[in-house]
Amino acid sequence: MKKIPAGLIVPSAAFCLQKSSIAGYQMLDKSPEPGDLVFGSIRRIGQHSSLENVSGRIHAVHNGSKAVFVFGNRYAPDHYEGIIQEDLIKDVDLLARSGMIGTVVTKNAMLKDPTRIRIHGHLVDKQGKVLNTRDFPKFKKTPAKKGKAKLVLVVGTAMNSGKSLAAAACCRALHQMGYAVNGCKMTGTASLKDILHMNDAGAKEFADFTYLGHPSTYKLTLDEMLDVFHTLDSKLGSNSKNFLVVEFADGINQRETAMLLECPEIVSRIHKLIFCAADALGAVGGIHILKTKFNLVPDAVSGLCSSSPLHIRELNNFTDAPVFNGADLKLDQMAEILLN
């Protein structure tokens, strides 16, 4: 067993890791699992030239930079689809700035090839057991129960449709209207910036799936997804006087988001549903899918389309749902959407 060098970057995908548990690192003959932690260095800079640490600070990295990395699966149409290979290989791909690693199987053609990571060994405890983020949850799993806070759910057509901005806008509007509000992101890939934006906007408490030790939610089972939902809902949504703003990542056709939207116990928690899209046609198509596939009707539309009066004009030909722009909040409009 070798000692970990001082000053090592611990990325946000390893949010739950307790540094005191690290005894050192050694290369073991072990098939990687989601959440397995390794010590590695950057062999070649590609798409990602920075790492987000557990405090949200962005570190510039270079060839040879050393850090902790976490095995995980990623689903990101605008970036990479990456998976954990069954066999451990020494050179892997950096799937996200949060320090998650795996093997890229598809990539957006607009991106560079991924940054390559050389694995030097698994992080292990004093007994030589490989450390895994799922062994150190910040929140304990709780039995399924209906939360009490009014839940505002934000979903959309795809990643980068404006969901995080809309979720932060809901937090800001509720906070400015005098309500206590918490925020969380239930699905996606580890990245602190989205929930930190909710906090900046007025969410008193905030969390995501990394608080339960998951570096991402891609390929989790339905039971695992429900554990995430119920645990975060119980932790952040237990006060009937409060609001809880929740974002589901990616689009409504994405596997985990669709799984949750098909669950009656999840749908029964929705107080208001916000749908986000990049353009009017995407919003129209998404609203149709929400209705025909999930029997859901949004209470409002937002996202990138809300910044264009022409998009809004086109959208108004197909739906009477109000449209709000998260960058230009009107509290009277938000009160009508979120409180009624």
- Please answer whether residues 156 and 276 qualify as being in contact, where contact means their C-beta atoms are separated by less than 8 angstroms: yes
C-alpha span between 331 and 63 (Å, rounded): 48
Mean pLDDT along residues 258-279:
97
What sign has the CA pseudo-torsion 146, 149, 150, 156?
negative
3-state SS class at 282: helix
Mean of pLDDT values over 185-198? 97
Q: Phi, psi at residue 92, to the nearest 5°?
A: -130, 175
pLDDT tens-digit profile of 92-113?
999 999 999 999 999 999 999 9
pLDDT tens across 281-328, in order?
Answer: 999 999 999 999 999 999 999 999 999 999 999 999 999 999 999 999
Q: How far apart are the C-alpha atoms of 321 and 298, rounded to whole Å?
A: 7
**Strand pairing report for 50-52 and 58-60:** antiparallel
**pTM of the prediction?**
0.95
The type of residue at 61 is: V
Residue 145 burial class via C-beta count within 10 angstroms: exposed 0-12, middle 13-18, buried 19 and up: exposed
Q: What is the rounded average pLDDT of the residues 12-34?
A: 95
Q: For residue 60, which amino acid is it?
A: A
| pLDDT 10s digits, 208-260 | 999 999 999 999 999 999 999 999 999 999 999 999 999 999 999 999 999 99
Per-residue pLDDT, 50: 98
